[in-house]
Structure 1
Amino acid sequence: MSDRLPSHTGPFALGTFEGAAGGAFPGLVTGAWVRDLSGLVPNVRALLDDWAGWLPRLDGLARTADGPWHDLAALRVHAPLEPGQILQSGANYRRHVVDLVAAERQSVHGSTPEEARADAERMMDQRIRDGVPYVFLGSPRALCGPYDDIVLPALGEQHDWELELAAVIGRPGRNIPAEEAMTYIAGYTICNDLTTRDRLYRPDLLAIGTDWFTAKNADTFLPTGPFLVPAMFAGDPHDLRITLRHNGVVRQDESTKDMIFDIPRLVAYVSTTTTLRPGDLLLTGSPAGNGAHWGVFLRPGDVLEAEITGLGHQRNTVRSGQ
């Protein structure tokens, strides 16, 4: 458990927990207390399968003393749910992408800083107007809890962080119109999408390019949680603060206002290819300030502390897997 109690906005949130006796259970969180829901459902995914039906029941359970309640501080906090698909958005924060494009314009094309940034800003304006999101799939096996150790794989040196807001799908749908997309969101959680940068490109397959599987899906490379906060309590998901500290130094500090493609456009886009189902995770991209930007990468003993407004916080210690 974290050295400080995680907090959430709204009267209740959901998660997956484990007590001293062992065995993970779905829980209803109200402040410092967790009601064990295992007598009602096997896991949090089962709640999402009938999200509209469960919401009023959960509200009632949060207001009563009935049932087994546990002290949150005494529990191990797992990732809040085991997702179906994990859909991950890349290059989706304006300032982040502008920084990358401007740096490339300066180093490769010899542009002045002012010219490079103006060119990058024009590119982003056009992308917002005419472009589409960039999305790829992640592995559920990469998930770990919000306070678990991050275990660095034996291969690679440039292990990086990317803190993201994740939307949790609560209704099945395909070809969802953007204007209806928010009705498909059950709630939100925090994901830190770690990446081994020096394994992202395959020198033996230059024509193919990137290797997202190897670079992003190592075990423990997706700390998730602590909670699933229902959308009705989370406030405006396009006006939340994302903050990450690396060994106490603030590295990422940005508003979700800076997204290039908002959540409705992301949902509409991915649902043209795949049917969304309750429990799928949609990661919405990471803002500026990752390790590659700072020239600093993760090493054993490092500590990452992360939070998004109203969704709780994470604290992960890095260790070697060798």
Structure 2
Amino acid sequence: MTMTSTGPTAPYALARFRDGDSVALGVVAGDRIRAISADELGADDLNAFLARGDWERVAVAAEQADGWMPLADVTLTAPVQPRQVLQAGANYREHVIELVAAGLTQNTDRTPEEAREFAATMMDDRAANGEPYFFIGLPACVVGDDVPLALPAYSQVHDWELELAVVIGREAFQVSRENALDHIAGYTIVNDITTRDLVFRKDMKEIGTDWYRSKNAPGFLPTGPFLVPAEFVDGGGLAVTLELNGEVKQDGHTSDLLFGIAALISGASETMPLLPGDLLLTGSPPGNGQHWKRFLRDGDVMTGTIEGLGTQTVRCVAP
């Protein structure tokens, strides 16, 4: 996978890049990047910085005159090092309505219009009275531009799901929705790759979904390339677009989230503390490969853009 990037629109952001055999943390401003030291950051590492959230230090580093390199000249890695990855399922209203309505029209006498109305009522009731649905991803799947997306040979139905990801700042444990946004450090882009024929167990259907096997192969969470501070992002007002080989496949908006970002953080933190640097994926809008009956192949190029967060380009290769 190679991620080329259109930079974020914020005045500054963070990224991680290859520096010889090691990885350096950098501040990004426009089309430039410079390494930011622990002294400048006021913390020994990225997660320690995110726990404190002193973004003024990054702003000062972005004003320095020396040390800058063209962004195009560096190899970016994932901008975060999460200890936990939580993912929200079935969280775009229009997407879920489409899925439910399609099932209803196949299994009942409802017209498409009646099925959509019934599904919309279900989703509105879920948003008002239900709870977010979470599952867990493996942090080892979080990768940057130095790891190719090798499509596993055990399936031919690997799919894309572009998502807005929340990066946790101050630890969040059993926080209210009213206070949840105070625990966000920033936002980044994640493409949640999914092997469709492994989502549901075939040997014992009563077990239900198998998120481990369907979503946790190497490289299945391409992330970044930037970590954009929360103060510059309206998480509920962002366009989310994915192109496959130049053709738009997903074209959504985070205003369509069934459970907003505050509700997701609050719900996820009820069970386990969310730690600085952790990722919380918010769900994917309509238009994945399952919808188009077109799945990933060797040579495919996915270009994912989220408004204000930049662009990632993921290149698929055979195993």
1:263 and 2:261 aligned: yes
- SS of the aligned residue for 1:96 comes to helix
Alpha-carbon spacing, 1:98–1:147, altered in 2? closer, same or farther (3 Å): farther
Q: Secondary structure at the match of 1:207?
A: helix
Counterpart of 1:35 in structure 2 is 34
Q: Which runs of 5+ in 2 are unaligned?
A: none
Instruction: Tell me which residue corresponds to 2:312.
Output: 314
Aligned-partner residue type, residue 215 of structure 2: K
Q: CA deviation at 1:6?
A: 2.1
Which AA in structure 2 matches 1:46?
A: A
Secondary structure of residue in 2 paired with 1:17: strand
TM-score normalized with structure 1 length:
0.94
Counterpart CA distance in 1 for 2:253 and 2:51 is: 31
Shift of residue 44 of structure 1? 2.4
Cα shift at 1:109 = 2.0
Name the structure 2 match of 1:132.
Answer: 131
> Which of 49, 52, 55 pairs up with 2:51?
49
| Counterpart residue type for residue 213 of structure 2 | T
Letter in 2 for 1:47: F
Structure 1 stretches (4+) deviating beyond 3 angstroms?
A: 1-5, 38-43
Report the number of matched residues.
316
Residue 273 (structure 2) aligns with: 275
**1:70 Cα shift?**
2.2
* Partner in structure 1 of residue 209 of structure 2: 210
Q: Do the aligned residues in 1 keep the contact of 2:161 with 2:193 (CA within 8 Å)?
A: yes
Report matched runs for 1:122-271 at 5 Å: 122-145=121-144, 148-234=147-233, 236-271=234-269
Contact 1:245 1:304 in 2 (8 A): yes
Distance 1:49 1:294 in 2: 41
State the match for 1:114 in structure 2. 113
Distance 1:256 1:3 in 2: 23
| Residue 302 (str. 1) matches residue 300 (str. 2) | yes
User: What is the alpha-carbon distance in structure 1 between the residues aligned to residue 8 and residue 165 of structure 2?
Assistant: 15
Residue 247 of structure 1: how far off its partner (Å): 1.3
Counterpart secondary structure, 1:61 = helix
Q: Which residue of 1 aligns with 2:77?
A: 78
Distance 2:138 2:64 in 1: 38
Report the AA paired with residue 172 of structure 1.
E
In structure 1, the partner of 2:282 is: 284
Deviation at 1:22, TM superposition (A): 3.6
Please give the secondary structure, in 1, of the residue aligned with 2:271. coil
Q: How many angstroms does 1:3 deviate by?
A: 8.5
CA distance in 2, matches of 1:261, 1:3: 30
1:98–1:124 CA contact under 8 A, matched in 2: yes
Q: Distance in 1 between matches of 2:45 and 2:150?
A: 26
Deviates more, 1:21-30 or 1:121-130: 21-30
1:100 aligns with 2:102: no
How far apart, CA to CA, are the structure 1 residues paired with 2:171 and 2:116? 41
Deviation at 1:72, TM superposition (A): 1.2
Contact 1:181 1:268 in 2 (8 A): yes
| Aligned-partner Cα distance in 2 for 1:317–1:148 | 10
Please tell me whether the aligned partners of residues 75 and 145 of structure 2 are also in contact (alpha carbons under 8 angstroms). Answer: no
Compute the RMSD of aligned alpha carbons.
1.6
Q: Map Cα deviations across residues 154-199 of structure 1 (whole Å, 9 max, x no partner).
A: 2122100000000101001211010111111010000000100001
Contact 2:3-2:225 at 8 Å conserved across structures: no
Unpaired runs of 5+ in structure 1? none
Q: How big is the shift at 1:147?
A: 7.4
Q: Please say if residues 44 and 80 of structure 1, whose CA atoms lie closer than 8 Å, have aligned partners that are also in contact.
A: no
Identity of aligned residues (%): 47
| Structure 1 contact 238–256 (Cα < 8 Å) conserved | yes
- Counterpart of 1:81 in structure 2: which amino acid? V
**Residues 92 and 285 in structure 1, CA contact (< 8 A), matched pair in contact too:** yes
Equivalent-residue separation in structure 2 for 1:73 and 1:308 (angstroms): 19
Asked if residue 15 in structure 1 is aligned to residue 4 in structure 2, the reply is no
- Structure 1: which amino acid aligns with 2:301? V
The 8 Å contact of residues 177 and 265 in structure 2, kept in 1 or not, is answered as: yes
Question: What whole-Å deviation, never above 9, does each CA across 1:68-119 have from its counterpart, x for those lacking one?
Answer: 3322111001110111110100000001000000000011223211111111
* AA at the equivalent of 1:312: G
Q: Which amino acid aligns with 2:172?
A: G
Between 1:138-147 and 1:280-289, the stretch displaced more is 138-147
- The 3-state SS of whatever aligns with 1:204 is coil
Cα contact 1:147–1:316 (8 A) shared by 2: no
- What is residue 59 of structure 2 aligned with on the other side? 59
